[in-house]
Structure 1
Amino acid sequence: MALPPIVVDLDGTLIYTDMLHETALRAVREDLANVFRIPFWLLQGKAVLKTKLARCARVDLQLLPYNTELIEWLKDKRLAGHRLVLCTASDHSIAQAIARRLNIFDEVIASDGRHNLSGISKAARLEQQFGQGNFDYAGNSAADLPVWERARHAIVVNASPLLTIEANNNVNVHKTFPRPRAGCRIWSKVVRIHQWLKNLLLFAPLVAAHDLTNGHAWASLVLAFLSFSLCASSVYITNDLLDIEHDRLHPLKRKRPLASGRVPIWQGVCAAPLLFILSLVFGYWAGWPFLQWLVVYFLLTCLYSLWLKRLMLVDCFTLALLYTLRIIAGAAAIGVTLTFWLLAFSIFLFLSLAFVKRYAEMEVQLLSGKKKIHGRGYLSSDAQLIQTLGIMVGCLSVLVLALYLNSDDIAHLYRSPEIVWIGVPTMLFWISWIWMQAHRGNMHEDPVIFAVKDRVSLVSGLIFAALLVLGSIGLP
């Protein structure tokens, strides 16, 4: 007696993402005018929308986040004699292409531009073709409940805990493939809370002005910090959405929540504008001068995500400017005028760290055997030159610090400026240390975030801070 066929859903089941969202995102990236076309296509029906998007969006199916555990199980079932059928509400052209790539399915049933094969319509189609109770079905959403009710066995894949309970109570569940754990921890990675540490640079002008007892300034900077952090998170999400295919090619970035499918694309699309609106609210409370610089930062980061990051060297200079903008915005929030020394030191230092970041990415690509950095304007062979440039501008930042400590301005702020001079070799050591770690392949993240976690960097920072304090209060 022939074994019953196993029918498998595509979106959220065979892959951890949804092809409607993937194609819509890709279509908008390739032609911004599609933002206005999509609503008109949707008015003609969801099946028409899927067909239109499949034709105009070139999604690299090889990079999709496939459910490897389910695929291996399906291969075993096929060897045991089960017939495998891919049945999806996605467009037929996409389903066929994925089936050809995996080469495990005997038949493909999908939406055809006229009928959207989802929920009850999918259940009716499968019942008509195989008969009630004569097939097993693997799905993941509440729309699959009518199909499970007419199947012999339900295979629950990547479903929410509530749906898993409902399925176990109402249908004959044969096997469950649990959903990867999500929650606050995953969303902290989506908004990249750890990157908020960069926004502590907003407080640098207050420290440089030796005005730490100003309560009003602290309140303004706290609001500015929240505003900048939410704005940055909005941009990070937007960047992850625009760069989703590039991230999937990267050995480390492919594990990001949006690239891996652990967080649906539609949630990222909704979260980005919401976070930006909240950032504007906090920015308004922080003051109009700060809000202006916040908008400049947002526009520059958008320009970086869309275009500048693909331009050789321009990307690093832009990153250095984005770091420095945090200091400028912090000064605007408390009404402090920045000195030439602080701006010059910041530009050179952050340009060196931007080069560190790009150099570390090149090293990863070089180890994986790739000659060109995907989505960037660099070759892997450029790594040595980037390293040289980065070390050079890092030393220039220390030179600016040394000239500042030898200037007349230092006497007005420090009682014992000679103590602060020890900060010059301290800073020189730290920059050398950061580049040494990048050279040894230990730099797997943003250098600022690395410094916060690195013990040597933390000790160097504490020594530098202690020197500033001792220089301010003077020795007995």
Structure 2
Amino acid sequence: MAAERTGALVRQEARAGAAPAPVRPDGGDGGGGSLAGGLLRTARPRQWVKNVLVVAAPAAAGELASPHTLRQLFLVFVLFTAAASAVYFLNDARDAAADRAHPEKCRRPVAAGLVPVPLAYAMGALLALASTGLAALFCNRATAALLASYVVMQIAYCLLLKHVLVVDLAVVTAGFVVRAMSGGLALDIRLSRWFLITAGFGALFIVAAKRYSEALLMGEGEGETRALLREYTVGYLRFVWQLAAGVAVLGYCLWALEGGTGDGTSLWRQLSMVPLILAVLRYAVFADRGGAGAPEDVILRDRPLAVIGLCWGLLYGLSVAGL
């Protein structure tokens, strides 16, 4: 009942404001009306922050000091940015009709008609082939195979898997985990089991919270723009993100308390649990209110969350430095 009342309030707030602006030829989002501007917006520059996850494994291993490492990670970041943008182009082209029914997605350049659907398909295919081809040329086999698997998985998601209950959550979550693994594979760094558990369930927390927010906004049974919202209940999605948050925190705490490479457990590493838990609790506030539908906005715009993140980075940096 509480979730239903929350959902009703969220939908009332969404409907109380001005009605969604008519779709304009320029995409209607305040950006430039040129084709080039539309292509750039379709590539989702704001989403590129997700690809910073490629530094996660090397950072966890404390191996970010050498110029070679930084160059390799930048290359992997660029390749994943191209691959992810390819998926955005293909997804927007395929979902153009459905996006026009959404109060926000109707402003996307493809849905608004600024970027023709055939051109979006062509750009998606070009970026997908270029990213995987360059990975094969300039990275090791493991990284190239991982990136190719990511592209194939995401295309399968766009075509079929996003219509399969629960599997859609798993595939989107896997996309985050693949990013987090890629930097380690590119540098031949052994991936800790606790790192994979924390990354996997942390990603599931973000994904399920996003779906939960969308379900609150659209209402149960009103998922015209994401068909599976008709199948999920807000109660189920709430259960998933709460479970995932708990497991992610537990995994991180077990890693932080685990002995290091023969030197014992760093006090700074143990203390880093505090800001990590605070960050999860802070993000959960937005998730519980139905305000986590755009994770990148929450992460980039919430100042307390940014301060907590800086504190975690300081403590973790001190741990890696062995101080």
Give the shorter-chain TM-score range. Answer: 0.7 to 0.9
Deviation per residue, 1:96-150 (Å, 9 max, x gap): xxxxxxxxxxxxxxxxxxxxxxxxxxxxxxxxxxxxxxxxxxxxxxxxxxxxxxx
Deviation per residue, 1:64-112 (Å, 9 max, x gap): xx9889xxxxxxxxxxxxxxxxxxxxxxxxxxxxxxxxxxxxxxxxxxx
Could you tell me whether the CA contact under 8 Å between 2:165 and 2:231 is conserved in 1?
no
Alignment partner, residue 130 of structure 2: 278
Could you tell me whether the CA contact under 8 Å between 1:311 and 1:376 is conserved in 2?
no
Q: Summarize the Cα distance change of 1:224–1:474 in structure 2 as closer, same or farther, 3 Å threshold.
A: closer
Alignment partner, residue 58 of structure 2: 206
| Structure with greater proportional helix content | 2
Deviation per residue, 1:401-451 (Å, 9 max, x gap): 11112212366486xx22222322322222222121133233341x24531
Q: Summarize the Cα distance change of 1:411–1:185 in structure 2 as closer, same or farther, 3 Å threshold.
A: farther
Structure 1 gap ranges (5+): 1-65, 70-157, 160-179
* Stretch deviating more after TM superposition (223-232 or 431-440): 431-440
Deviation per residue, 1:186-217 (Å, 9 max, x gap): 33211112211111111112111212222222
Q: Summarize the Cα distance change of 1:386–1:220 in structure 2 as closer, same or farther, 3 Å threshold.
A: same
- Mapping 1:112-151, distance limit 5 Å: none
Q: 2:88 aligns with which of 229, 236, 255?
A: 236
* Stretch deviating more after TM superposition (370-379 or 186-195): 370-379
Q: Summarize the Cα distance change of 1:287–1:410 in structure 2 as closer, same or farther, 3 Å threshold.
A: closer
| Structure with greater proportional strand content | 1
Could you tell me whether the CA contact under 8 Å between 1:430 and 1:457 is conserved in 2?
yes
Alignment partner, residue 467 of structure 1: 315
What code does the residue aligned with 1:454 have?
Answer: D
Q: CA deviation at 1:381?
A: 7.0
Q: TM-score, normalised by structure 2?
A: 0.84
What code does the residue aligned with 2:306 have?
Answer: L
Q: CA deviation at 1:225?
A: 1.1
Q: State the identity %.
A: 24
Q: 2:234 aligns with which of 361, 383, 388?
A: 383
Alignment partner, residue 93 of structure 1: none
Q: Summarize the Cα distance change of 1:318–1:413 in structure 2 as closer, same or farther, 3 Å threshold.
A: farther
Q: TM-score, normalised by structure 1?
A: 0.58
Answer with 1 or 2: which has the greater Rg.
1
1:418 equivalent to 2:270? Answer no
Q: 2:75 aligns with which of 209, 219, 223?
A: 223
Alignment partner, residue 400 of structure 1: 251
1-structure distance, mates of 2:23, 2:310: 47
Structure 2 gap ranges (5+): 1-20, 27-31
Alignment partner, residue 443 of structure 1: 292
What code does the residue aligned with 1:265 have?
Answer: V
Could you tell me whether the CA contact under 8 Å between 2:214 and 2:290 is conserved in 1?
no
Alignment partner, residue 428 of structure 1: 277
1:312 equivalent to 2:165? Answer yes
Alignment partner, residue 143 of structure 2: 290
1:358 equivalent to 2:211? Answer yes
Number of residue pairs the alignment of both structures matches? 296
- Mapping 1:8-407, distance limit 5 Å: 181-283=33-135, 284-366=137-219, 371-374=221-224, 375-379=226-230, 382-407=233-258
Q: Summarize the Cα distance change of 1:331–1:381 in structure 2 as closer, same or farther, 3 Å threshold.
A: closer
Q: Summarize the Cα distance change of 1:413–1:286 in structure 2 as closer, same or farther, 3 Å threshold.
A: farther
SS of residue paired to 1:213 = coil
2-structure distance, mates of 1:428, 1:67: 42
